Amino acid sequence: VFAQFDPVPLAAASIGQAHAANLWDGTEVVVKIRRPGVVEQVNEDLEILNELAATASRHWKFADRYDLPGLVEEFSQTLRKELDYIREGHNAEKFAANFAGDPFVHVPRVIWEATTSRVLTLERIRGIKINDLEGLDEQGTDRRWLAHYATNVVLKMVCEDGFFHADPHPGNFFIEPQGVIGLIDFGMVGVLDEQTQGLLAELLIAINHQ
């Protein structure tokens, strides 16, 4: 499948790790690989967490106010979705469709012929991390403009699309030349219904008018 594959990971996390590679046509890609045995380990840990939450709710009145079993269930659903790289690939394509007309947002293309539930292959994005201020200055990126544009990107996800990136730490945002925002890591996403979108929009408008 790959003409070249770097065995040293670009990044590593608890669920998987990412490697640089090249397809046979020369395309640079990043291959995200799920760790062996991680599904079984996560399921086991979540069962323990669920037992602890149920026990705490029965024996600790303070804990019962927060519906700990419900919180654990929501956390479990989110984490199990992250384990499925097919789902993550579809999330990436949905973001790409939502920003198809935006020249300043770059969502990597999914290489489906090299993707399974355990392996996700994406077009490689090269850029500067959004919190590397010196690098952005050296690249000539207008940081004030970038902050304004990135805020609008987030607002579009939440208030217009109802489908947003739910893991927006600096490692998932790369700034390409000309200030193009490259997004990666689509394992965690959020979905909002129209009513919640409207309420959030009203809240933001109210804050803006204070």
Q: Which residues are catalytic?
A: 167
Are β-strands 128-129 and 105-106 bridged in parallel, bridged antiparallel, or unpaired? unpaired
Contact at 8 Å (CB) between 185 and 172?
yes
- Rg of the chain (C-alpha set): 20
Torsion angle of the four alpha carbons 43, 48, 49, 51, in this order, in degrees rounded to the nearest 10? 130
Three-state secondary structure of 107-173: CCCECHHHCCCCEEEEECCCCEECCCHHHHHHHCCCHHHHHHHHHHHHHHHHHHHCEEECCCCHHHE
- Dist. CA 113–CA 43, nearest whole Å: 28
- Phi, psi at 126, each rounded to 5°: -115, 130
